[in-house]
Amino acid sequence: DTEVTQTPKHLVMGMTNKKSLKCEQHMGHRAMYWYKQKAKKPPELMFVYSYEKLSINESVPSRFSPECPNSSLLNLHLHALQPEDSALYLCASSPGTGGNIQYFGAGTRLSVL
């Protein structure tokens, strides 16, 4: 099973709202990732968690706040987003060490009004 599950599939929010994206994997992977993908563009890395600790933050604005409650779950908390933050947000996971396949979820399609 190489499944990464993301919820919700679609999300519409206003610029003053607070919402959260959720990601779950049960492959025993110890690294989890958030990517942002704009239309017709490749995914861009936002955050990396390794063994439940934040190891990479690609200079992401503070209105995006990641959280890794345990080794199977990854959240992305959203607050005061801008319309340009509208995108597909992808979660991925991989075994603990680098140089391994990253398995992606189907993503959350976010629209900020």
Binding site for another protein (CB under 8 A): 2, 4, 6, 31, 33, 40-45, 48, 50, 55-56, 90, 92, 94, 98-99, 101-107
Report the nearest approach of another protein to the CB of residue 3 (Å). 11
CB 15, min distance to another protein, A: 26
Inter-residue long-range contacts of 63-67, CB under 8 Å, 24+ positions, other chains counted: 64/34, 66/34
Please, is 19 exposed, middle or buried when counting C-beta atoms within 10 Å of its C-beta (0-12, 13-18, 19+)? middle
| Cβ proximity to another protein, 33 vs 64, nearer residue | 33
Question: Tokens standing for 85?
Answer: 């933050």
CB of 5 or CB of 82, closer to another protein: 5
Smallest distance, another protein to C-beta of residue 103, A: 7
Distances (CA, A) of 21 to 10, 29, 37: 10, 19, 15
Q: Phi then psi for 84, rounded to 5 degrees?
A: -70, -5
Nearer to another protein, 17 or 50 (CB): 50
